[in-house]
Amino acid sequence: MTTSAAASGRWRLRQPSVIPGFGLTLGFSLAYLTLIILIPLAGLVWRSASLSGEEFLAILSDERTIKALEVSFGTAFVAALINVVFGVLVAWVIVRYEFPGRRIVDAIVDLPFALPTAVAGIALAALYAPNGWVGQLLNLVGIKAAFNPTGIVIALVFIGLPFVVRTVQPIMEEIDREVEEAAATLGANRFQTIRRVLLPGLAPAILTGFALAFARGVGEYGSVIFIAGNIPYVSEIAPLLIVIRLEEFNYGAATAIATIMLCLSFAMLLVINLIQTWNRRRYGHGA
Amino acid sequence: MARKTLRSPTTEAPLARYALMAAAFLFLALFLILPLVAVFIEAFRKGPGEFFASLGDPDTLAAIRLTLLVAVIAVPLNLVFGVAAAWAIAKFEFKGKAFLTTLIDLPFSVSPVISGLVYVLLFGAGSVLGPWLKSHGIEILFAVPGIVLATVFVTFPFVARELIPLMQEQGTGDEEAALSLGASGWQTFWYVTLPNIKWGLLYGVLLCNARAMGEFGAVSVVSGHIRGLTNTMPLHVEILYNEYNFVAAFAVASLLAALALVTLVVKTALELHYGAEIAAGRKH
């Protein structure tokens, strides 16, 4: 008699359901999440909070730290831009064109998700080093593609490609051909249709793909360190500097650099979520 | 294709089409195919004899065993978590659900090096737990437990994020029917839910396993790089490479690359045959 009144009047954690196991599964999930993820991350924040403000600033204003962060964010940005161009191109070719081996090409795009980063790292280094297959050719035209920031960009292009393709591809598949036909009948040429009709619809997905590739690139370690040359102030990435500081038992510096990277990554995550919410509201589906 | 002469208004001119395809293929060849091919060519540079000899090295065998051991522990842990989390999130409506889902994805946005660092800060010499662990003779850092923890951290979301959207899509109708017919909670899970999600589950486990065996950054920070003891396969690749032992480095790398290829083939086969049952699989 009072159940409906109680349900509407009182705050409750969950809506009633006949399905059992809520307490068990949620309890286990929360406990596991807390032990594996939350406590360790809280430890990082706590450790970083125990540094004094001056210590923190001193580490972050250190020339080598600043350069490493610049290298990480700069190369990740350039690589994400390259991935936007070629990722959209690859997605377009897979979605729109019929050719033999299309499924294989589609499957191979996921290679960077499946291939361990260290394997990718040594393979790219062997390929793009001055004596490697591709490196030799690039040397002829005066491009040095390994052991400098260019090498880092190459590794991050490899790592980031599937993020762009896999965010853009499903949206491309959903495009209604009639829209393009309408544009064509209204006198738009193909280039105008792509630029003014198709690209605006894809823009949120492209932006999300860019952000995902960028965020991944900033934190990437395994594939980069073999091809980067790791020259301090020039081609040393921030994650490597964390490792170096740890090996020196300079936990304070490692923590400070990690904290600033985490803050920047979470800001990125927030931006991605905002884009997706905005996108859903505008087009009725997520990227 | 009888209308070949009439070009559809919704595609590009043939010349533009070929140019775009050529550009895409050249890009994929340079950045994806050639690196993969290079791994196998470098591994067999000095012939199959040298290849198998470097794989038979005791330190290499120890690295392979450790990698398998870590995956055997880490993957089932995250499998159980993934199923439990997906059950709670997909079958019930409760406050804070969206927040919980976001938290599960957290490890994806953390640099692998930081994933390792958090455990160094938690269990290392300078931490609260460090001295206590030392006095009790418990080794976590620079030992197998640390490597397992770091691997569990980085592979944490894989199973859960495959299952959550899938189970949300399937709803609760099947389970309610089973329960109303008198099945117990466990029976409902085993005979109704599990058959519904098995392919999605396999898909998530596959991706989780690939990452668990291949993880480098996080494991590198907590392992201590002790040859034959705390070196996983990816770490062993690095050591051999830095010793200019390229054939051995690429030989071990080729095993990992073969694992990646198998993963891709099974993944593609699952998507082809059970696309609907792993509906969320295409999103990353």
Structure tokens, B35: 């690196």
Instruction: Determine the residue among B83, B94, B111 to mutate to test chain A binding: the one whose Cβ has the most chain A Cβ atoms within 10 Å.
Output: B111
- Report CB contact under 8 Å: A21, B87: yes
Query: A22 to chain B: which residues are within 8 Å by CB?
Result: 88, 91-92, 94
- Give the pLDDT score at A1: 40
Of B109, B210, B215, the CB nearest to A114: B210
Q: How far is B68 from chain A (nearest CA, A)?
A: 15
Among B29, B20, B43, smallest CA distance to B255 is for B43
Angstrom distances, CA of residue A91 to CA of A106, A159, A171: 9, 16, 10
- Give the pLDDT score at B226: 86
Q: Which amino acid is it at A103?
A: R
- Give the pLDDT score at A283: 64
More confident residue, B8 or B262: B262
Q: Are A84 and A209 in contact (CB under 8 A)?
A: yes
- Give the pLDDT score at B116: 96
Of A28, A177, A266, the CB nearest to B10: A177
Q: How far is B229 from chain A (nearest CA, A)?
A: 19
pTM: 0.91
Query: A251 to chain B: which residues are within 8 Å by CB?
Result: 120-121, 124, 126
- Report CB contact under 8 Å: B92, A180: no
- Report CB contact under 8 Å: B237, A118: yes
- Report CB contact under 8 Å: B33, A108: yes
Return d(Cα B95, Cα B104) in angstroms, integer. 16
- Give the pLDDT score at A4: 46
Q: How far is A37 from chain B (nearest CA, A)?
A: 7
**Residue B280's pLDDT band (cuts 50, 70, 90):** low
**Is the CATH number 3.40.47.10 carried by domain A52-282?**
no
Find the largest Cα–Cα distance for chain A. 86
Q: How far is B170 from chain A (nearest CA, A)?
A: 14
- Give the pLDDT score at B215: 97
Instruction: Determine the residue among A28, A50, A96, A115 to mutate to test chain B binding: the one whose Cβ has the most chain B Cβ atoms within 10 Å.
Output: A115
pLDDT, tens digit only, all 287 positions of chain A: 444 444 455 778 888 888 999 999 999 999 999 999 999 999 999 988 888 888 888 988 999 999 999 999 999 999 999 999 999 999 999 999 999 999 999 999 999 999 999 999 999 999 999 999 999 999 999 999 999 999 999 999 999 999 999 999 999 999 888 888 888 889 888 888 888 888 888 988 898 899 899 999 999 999 999 999 999 999 999 999 999 999 998 999 999 999 999 888 778 778 777 877 777 777 655 44
- Neighbouring C-beta atoms of residue B170, cutoff 10 Å: 18
- Report CB contact under 8 Å: A118, B95: no
Domain coordinates of chain A in residue numbers?
52-282
- Min mean pLDDT across A83-87, A175-179, B3-7, B224-228 is at B3-7
Burial class (CB in 10 A: 0-12, 13-18, 19+), A45: middle
Considering B7-11, B149-153, B227-231, the range whose residues carry the highest mean pLDDT is: B149-153
Secondary structure of residue B94 in the 3-state scheme: strand
- Min mean pLDDT across A128-137, B17-26, B222-231 is at B222-231
Chain B residue closest in CA terms to A153: B31
pLDDT per residue as tens digits for the range B122-165: 998 778 788 888 889 888 999 999 999 999 999 999 999 999 99
Element (H, E) at B235: helix B233-242
- Give the pLDDT score at A284: 57
- Report CB contact under 8 Å: A180, B91: no
Structure tokens, B213: 């065996």
Hey, which residues does A14 pair with through a beta bridge? B94
Number of Cβ pairs < 8 A linking chain A and chain B = 293
More confident residue, B45 or B283: B45
Return d(Cα B141, Cα A15) in angstroms, integer. 43
Return d(Cα A129, Cα A145) in angstroms, integer. 7
- Give the pLDDT score at B1: 45
Give the sign of the dihedral formed by CA A262, CA A268, CA A271, CA A276.
negative
Burial class (CB in 10 A: 0-12, 13-18, 19+), B3: exposed
Chain B residue closest in CA terms to A160: B31
- Give the pLDDT score at B282: 45
Instruction: Determine the residue among A29, A36, A106, A271 to mutate to test chain B binding: the one whose Cβ has the most chain B Cβ atoms within 10 Å.
Output: A29
Phi, psi of A115 (to 5 degrees): -80, 125
